[in-house]
Amino acid sequence: MQSFIHIESPNYLRPENLSSPPDWGAVFGNQQPLALEIGCGVGDFMLKTALDHPETNFVAIDFYNKGCWKSCRRIDRHGVGNVRVLRDEARIFVTERIAKGSLSAVYINCPDPWPKKRHRKRRLVNREFVEFLLQYLAPGADFYFATDFDDYGLDVAQMLPEVAGLENQFAPDQYRHEFPGYHLSKYMRKFMAEGKRIYFVHYRAK
Ligand SMILES: C[S@@+](CC[C@H](N)C(=O)[O-])C[C@H]1O[C@@H](n2cnc3c(N)ncnc32)[C@H](O)[C@@H]1O
């Protein structure tokens, strides 16, 4: 069994130390918009995206302890002040720590694909999850989703137009395989090296 890594970082937050929801302005020491990455992995996407957007505060969550540790190390090493990392489950975190209508963006890159048919219901992103998340988006907030898995990409791309309150930023395309300006995550790069295409989806809350 993998041992649990104790994370010592000024940018690591423990959910149990936060109120419900916390005053994110006080956490970051400014009133910038708040964006969320769900399943940040090793934090490479978060670092690059946060460096591009110093005007936004980012919370990167993952329930993988080692990923949070690596993300913190990366963020700390670069002296980035607009990212906080948390180990938590997405639905629990959003319900407990985010005020409704407050997020300026949500990023979900390469969520676990659960390729076996009987496991598909374990997938994070489905209509129910998007409708749940939508309550927490501010008007004009961005929703980004990327996957290498054809069946997951197509399912999400076909489901999203049915969700009221979201506008497709790639219209008339439901998805694209290229997204200039959007950083590639570790998993995206790994899958592309294997010759797979990434499905990018970009919607905006009305
Ligand atoms: C395949 S990895 C992708 C990591 C990264 N986004 C990337 O593209 O390189 C999926 C990550 O999502 C995390 N994850 C999956 N479901 C989650 C959930 N419900 N809440 C929080 N993290 C989750 C996993 O622990 C894992 O680190």
Using the predicted structure, report yes or no on whether residue 122 has a pLDDT greater than 80: yes
Pocket probe mutation, ligand 1, options 2, 38, 192, max atoms within 8 Å of Cβ:
38
Q: Residue 165: pLDDT band by 50, 70, 90 thresholds?
A: very high
Based on the structure, what is the number of domains in the chain? 1
> Is 22 among the domain residues?
no
Q: What is the rounded average pLDDT of the residues 84-112?
A: 98
> Is 132 among the domain residues?
yes
Pocket probe mutation, ligand 1, options 64, 97, 185, max atoms within 8 Å of Cβ:
64
> Is 4 among the domain residues?
no
pLDDT value for 19: 96
pLDDT value for 2: 67
- Verdict on whether the full-model pTM lies above 0.85: yes
Using an 8 Å Cβ cutoff, are 136 and 103 in contact?
yes
> Is 57 among the domain residues?
yes
Structure confidence by residue, pLDDT tens digits, 63-79: 999 999 999 999 999 99
> Is 90 among the domain residues?
yes
Q: Specify the residue with its C-alpha closest to ligand 1, atom 24.
A: 39
Whether residue 111 has its Cβ less than 6 Å from ligand 1: yes
> Is 27 among the domain residues?
no
Taking the centre of ligand 1 as the mean of its atom positions, its distance from the CA of residue 115, in whole angstroms, is 15
> Is 26 among the domain residues?
no
| Mean pLDDT, the chain, whole residue set | 97
> Is 188 among the domain residues?
yes
d(CA 19, CA 24): 10
Q: What is the rounded average pLDDT of the residues 126-148?
A: 98
Looking from the CA of 82 toward its CB, the CA atoms found within 13 Å total: 21
Q: What is the rounded average pLDDT of the residues 52-63?
A: 98
Phi, psi of 192 (to 5 degrees): -65, -35
pLDDT value for 3: 87
Looking from the CA of 205 toward its CB, the CA atoms found within 13 Å total: 21
Structure confidence by residue, pLDDT tens digits, 2-13: 689 999 999 999
Say which CATH number the domain at 78 has: 3.40.50.150
| Structural domain range at position 69 | 32-205
